[in-house]
Structure 1
């Protein structure tokens, strides 16, 4: 009977550890992406120039604000 209790506690501890690890990793990644966005204004400007567009600052600001709204 004691063996089943030990196995049950072990399984519950494993599941709790997996769930806790998932939420900690998710919170860390969300804060990392908020501090270091994957695309900044300079990257956006270079991408537009490579596509043959002449980017204006107004257009870059519009695209950055649209991307920031999507993230939130």
Structure 2
């Protein structure tokens, strides 16, 4: 499982489906018609799990987490 230094990005391939926002609304929001990561820290296991669930739900595979 990733540690607290997880870095999350949303690429330009985002199609604005909003599934990441539905799965992890505290960590993603719409900006200019596509999803973006919020500034909320990924400082616990629940936050990291939410990010990974959003990554798996993305139909465009636009989310990366390393």
Normalised by the length of structure 2, the TM-score is 0.30
Which of the two has greater helix per residue?
A: 1
Between Structure 1 and Structure 2, whose CA radius of gyration is higher?
1
